[in-house]
Structure 1
Amino acid sequence: MLEGHALGVHGEGVSIAPVDFSLARGGRLTLLGETGSGKSLIAQAIMGTLPSGLAASGELTIEGQAYAAAEGATRRALWGRRLALLPQEPWHALDPTMASGAQVAESHRYLRGLGRRRAREAARRDLVGLGLGLADAEGSLPGELSGGMAQRVAFAAASAGGAPLVIADEPTKGLDAPRRDAVVRLLAATPQRGGALLTITHDIEVARRLGGEVILLRRGRVVERGPAERLLSAPRSDYAKRLLEAEPSRWPAPPPPPATCGEPVVEARGLAKWRGGRALFRDLALSLRPGEIVGVVGPSGCGKSTLGDLLLGLTGTDAGEVKRAAGHRLAFQKLYQDPPAAFSPHWSLARLLDDLVRRHRLDRTAIAPLMTRLGLDRELLARRPGEISGGELQRFAILRVLLMEPRFLFADEPTSRLDPITQRDTLALLVELARERHCAVMLVSHDPALIERLCDRRLVLGQGEAVLAPESLDAQAV
């Protein structure tokens, strides 16, 4: 159904070595590898949507029809009907001014030819099947949804046309384990009904569950390839072995947390928030001191991001109060779950950082060493946010917030787009700098193992209540 012959990408400092692959009916192929290795660029080369300045080479065969990879426009007639892309960033795929349910229904109307009423009914089934309550999602704008909820809406809209060839670019980022597994089952339905699936991910567990063939990429080159069962259990390359060892469940046990001292940076008492007549949480009390790392876990849509907005004063409480320590105006900062929503798409990263430094009179000399510690190439500064990988943009978001030397940082899934090795190194750096600078951090993650290895305490949200406990205790979701 889909074949790539010497498919490569080149231009503006990018070089993806030619790769061959083949997907028959019922086939599954996963591109796995580090952030910035070229996984998403291969998907864009297939779709014909490479950023300006980049060009594809080689040939593609799609359902028996040959295409020159460089002539992307020739494949646009296939979009939605024969070839579907489930995008990495929901904000790039969804109309911010249109209700979420209507966007899914629109795909059913114009790609499948359903009438208005049947399209609306099909959209509702799709949303419910993805665990989205109609009261939460159908009439909401994308910006009113959590990152995980918006990801599922984009999934429903992209897959509504029933295309037999599906390319899924990081389809499970930002989702808790049950939601991730539900999306994996939906992805698997395409090859099960005779289609073919190409998945791009840095999540090793997703690659395991999908099975099929895995191609492991690093810096635009194929490092290893083979059946998922063999490669992900007994890899042959040193890089594949390091990647598996970097899964959070394999991280070493953390050292005892340092003693915290000083007055609390942020406190909350009797905190409550409702959405759609449902309590996200209530009677919540917490306190964070300088240098303390508190993890937050819970299912998608349970209010983790909302809690951060309450503590930062970005939204109002329905009950209770929040007390923030006095400090400079940049003392309370947020690392957003979806970096594209936090960067202007029209300017280069160099210009955006320069504007930040000038506006807030920050230390410009701190940029270069932070880029080095975050593994960011200086050549990326010349590009716009949409011209680099999601993982690279996420690390720029971390760099930007650290420049402002916050006293409290709400880090909302700050490494959801990073491969295990980069995630481990980036979070270790974030915790190290927080301890050094006496910055309290509230870290959101859907991975309990990650929270267990990094955080001093854990806050579990779910079903309108919360449990806050030392990390050494086994706090149970309620």
Structure 2
Amino acid sequence: MSELLRVSNLHISMGERTLLENVSLAVNKGEPLVILGQTGSGKSLLLKWIMASIDSALSCTGEIAVHGEVMNMAQRRTLWGKQMAMLSQEPMSTLDPLMKSGEQVAEVSRFVLGHSAQQARLMAQQELERYGLAQAYQKRVGQLSGGMAQRMAICVSTAANASIILVDEPTKGLDVSRRDDVVDMLRDKTKNDGLIVVTHDVEVAQRLGGQILVLHYGKVVEQGQTQQVLAHPQQEYTKKLIHSTPKNWAQSRSKDIAQERILSVENVAIQRGKQKLFDSLTFDVQQGEIVGIVGDSGCGKSSLGDAILGHLKVSSGEIVRQKTQGKAKWLKLYQDPFTSLSQHLTLGKMLDDLIALHKLDASRVAPLMKKLALREQVLTCNSSQVSGGELQRFSILRALLMEPVFLFADEPTSRLDPIIAKEVTMQLVQLAREQNCSLLIVSHDPDLINAIADKVINISDYAPQAVSLQECVA
């Protein structure tokens, strides 16, 4: 097997803090290398060092050989595009929102490989047809579903036929079917090349196969054949990662649900623009019930929650909510807490403002923080100074302080690594039950929903049969 890239004894530090310690790896032709670990383990930092795009303030030692030749930072930068390419976490970091999607693939063929404009467009069209994206050629990124945008970004990143592809969390936030589409596409496009994939998703690692390297706080704790390591992990951290995947969770459904109905959805249809997402949807929610919402990307899961909260009009049907003391009792927990919280105020200040505005009981803060495993120190920080897991816990704290009767949680853990995601999900469910708060939780992972929900609704079952779900817009 031909070796394309080798890293030896890499050490990266910032001042006295070690970020990566003694990392060595090899990438072989046609064999994926998966780098697995939770947030903060150093996965993305390793990719940036390989690509020579790392912060110059960091201290780095170690050696890298590409195609057998030892190279420094400047030499590796000359390989960008033609020999080494990187796909970042968010498709919008790769794609231009103002250009038609297919033209972005053609542009790489034209300006990097030197093809004529006509030939580049033809090659781009053929490439998109091969991966089910033919209808997306004329669309801009904002008109694509999450899965389509990610596949388009892969086409752009690999259009110059680089022999080594580095990919950072390619399936974050995608439902299971779209996740598998992206993984299969990556394997197909790199079957004769080198592929390094950073992920915190154990099932992505299993599907990719090849070799695996498990990182924990900058140290390699396990390394070897992917299927062997995941089937027979030797280290406690690897075992914890594997057991944190939702299919391994113990079920936490309630056996005693109050019979008082708090919400009734009757024959509801919702559309965005001219596109009908679903119709004839009917269900009830009882007080204190945990209801799980699943379905393909773009089928209308988030739109349903927005309609229930009164933020979106239904096309037909009726949504009847129990009369309460006001809108503040019907709340939403957002997918990305960074976008729902101010970056200019400390978390403590935001909490104080909430308590003052709604005349809440401040004595409830400390017990709730303890149950959510929130450090008191986070209240002195702003949203950019704490981890994603802590920020989502803080968002849950703010919501539950309001003592809501209904909470719509829209993919609340999709951006968290599996260990933190499990902790946050279980804490949310437990506290909702304790407060007798009805919880409508959306997830792209049916295993997660099946583990916690008293009732499961698949929105895709209510999609108009004549409409392709790939054309739906979330």
Q: Post-superposition shift, 1:254? A: 2.8
Match of 2:167 in 1: 168
Match of 1:3 in 2: 6
**How do residues 259-270 of structure 1 correspond to structure 2 at under 5 angstroms?**
259-264=257-262, 266-270=263-267
Q: 2-side partners of 1:423 and 1:88: how far apart?
A: 18
Q: Post-superposition shift, 1:282? A: 0.3
Q: Is the 8 A contact 2:214 2:222 kept in 1?
A: yes
Q: Post-superposition shift, 1:227? A: 1.0
Q: Is the 8 A contact 1:149 1:300 kept in 2?
A: no
Q: Which amino acid aligns with 1:245?
A: H
CA deviations on 1:155-184 (whole Å, 9 max, x unpaired) are 333233322111111112233333322222
Can you give the 5+ residue segments of structure 2 that lack an aligned partner in the other structure?
357-361, 465-474
- Does residue 1:271 correspond to 2:268, yes or no? yes
Q: Is the 8 A contact 2:109 2:115 kept in 1?
A: yes
User: Which secondary structure state, in structure 2, belongs to the residue aligned with residue 206 of structure 1?
Assistant: helix
User: Which secondary structure state, in structure 2, belongs to the residue aligned with residue 299 of structure 1?
Assistant: coil
CA deviations on 1:173-214 (whole Å, 9 max, x unpaired) are 233333322222222234422x10111112212212222211
Match of 1:472 in 2: none
Higher mean Cα deviation, 49-58 or 433-442?
49-58
Can you give the 5+ residue segments of structure 1 that lack an aligned partner in the other structure?
467-478
- Does residue 1:150 correspond to 2:154, yes or no? no
Q: Post-superposition shift, 1:19? A: 0.3
Q: Which amino acid aligns with 1:462?
A: S
Q: 1-side partners of 2:99 and 2:227: how far apart?
A: 42
Match of 1:139 in 2: 139
**How do residues 224-243 of structure 1 correspond to structure 2 at under 5 angstroms?**
224-243=222-241
Q: Is the 8 A contact 2:389 2:420 kept in 1?
A: no
Equivalent of 1:442, from 419, 440, 454? 440
* Distance verdict in 2 for CA 1:412–1:121, change over 3 Å: farther
Q: 2-side partners of 1:428 and 1:410: how far apart?
A: 16
- Does residue 1:400 correspond to 2:395, yes or no? yes
TM-score with structure 1 length normalisation?
Answer: 0.81
Match of 1:66 in 2: 70
Match of 1:360 in 2: 354
Q: Which amino acid aligns with 1:161?
A: A
Equivalent of 2:24, from 20, 26, 36? 20
Q: 2-side partners of 1:415 and 1:245: how far apart?
A: 16
Match of 1:82 in 2: 83
* Distance verdict in 2 for CA 1:131–1:268, change over 3 Å: farther
Q: Post-superposition shift, 1:74? A: 5.4
Q: 2-side partners of 1:366 and 1:9: how far apart?
A: 39
Equivalent of 1:296, from 293, 297, 303? 293
CA deviations on 1:335-381 (whole Å, 9 max, x unpaired) are 4445565567xx47xx3635633553466994896498357895898
* Distance verdict in 2 for CA 1:343–1:130, change over 3 Å: farther
CA deviations on 1:135-164 (whole Å, 9 max, x unpaired) are 6x842443x544444333333332333221
Q: Which amino acid aligns with 1:63?
A: H
**How do residues 72-471 of structure 1 correspond to structure 2 at under 5 angstroms?**
75-127=76-128, 129-132=130-133, 134=135, 138-142=138-142, 144-193=143-192, 195-264=193-262, 266-274=263-271, 278-324=275-321, 325-338=323-336, 342=340, 347=343, 351=345, 353=347, 356-357=350-351, 359-361=353-355, 366=365, 370=369, 373=372, 385=384, 392-393=387-388, 395-405=390-400, 406-462=404-460, 464-465=462-463
Q: Post-superposition shift, 1:16? A: 2.1
Q: Which amino acid aligns with 2:347?
A: L
Q: Which amino acid aligns with 2:9?
A: A
CA deviations on 1:230-285 (whole Å, 9 max, x unpaired) are 11111112222232233322222334343235451x44333212357553210112
User: Which secondary structure state, in structure 2, belongs to the residue aligned with residue 308 of structure 1?
Assistant: helix
Match of 1:475 in 2: none
Match of 2:467 in 1: none
* Distance verdict in 2 for CA 1:289–1:24, change over 3 Å: same
* Distance verdict in 2 for CA 1:4–1:102, change over 3 Å: same
Q: Is the 8 A contact 2:348 2:379 kept in 1?
A: no
Q: Which amino acid aligns with 1:311?
A: I
Q: 2-side partners of 1:138 and 1:230: how far apart?
A: 44
User: Which secondary structure state, in structure 2, belongs to the residue aligned with residue 404 of structure 1?
Assistant: helix
Match of 2:45 in 1: 41
Q: 1-side partners of 2:100 and 2:48: how far apart?
A: 27
Q: Is the 8 A contact 2:9 2:24 kept in 1?
A: yes
Q: 1-side partners of 2:55 and 2:82: how far apart?
A: 23
Q: 2-side partners of 1:123 and 1:371: how far apart?
A: 54
Q: Which amino acid aligns with 2:397?
A: L
CA deviations on 1:90-128 (whole Å, 9 max, x unpaired) are 344344444444444444443344444554454455555
* Distance verdict in 2 for CA 1:404–1:426, change over 3 Å: closer
Percent of residue pairs identical: 37
CA RMSD of aligned residues (A): 3.5
Q: Is the 8 A contact 2:337 2:395 kept in 1?
A: no
* Distance verdict in 2 for CA 1:116–1:313, change over 3 Å: farther
Q: 1-side partners of 2:149 and 2:370: how far apart?
A: 30
Q: 2-side partners of 1:93 and 1:355: how far apart?
A: 36
Q: 1-side partners of 2:55 and 2:372: how far apart?
A: 27
Q: 2-side partners of 1:342 and 1:129: how far apart?
A: 38
Q: How many residues align?
A: 451
* Distance verdict in 2 for CA 1:110–1:240, change over 3 Å: same
Q: Which amino acid aligns with 2:186?
A: L
**Structure label with greater radius of gyration:** 2
* Distance verdict in 2 for CA 1:255–1:397, change over 3 Å: closer
Higher mean Cα deviation, 450-459 or 249-258?
249-258
Q: Which amino acid aligns with 2:254?
A: P
CA deviations on 1:300-324 (whole Å, 9 max, x unpaired) are 2222222223223333332234344
Q: 1-side partners of 2:8 and 2:363: how far apart?
A: 46
* Distance verdict in 2 for CA 1:92–1:414, change over 3 Å: farther
Higher mean Cα deviation, 91-100 or 245-254?
91-100
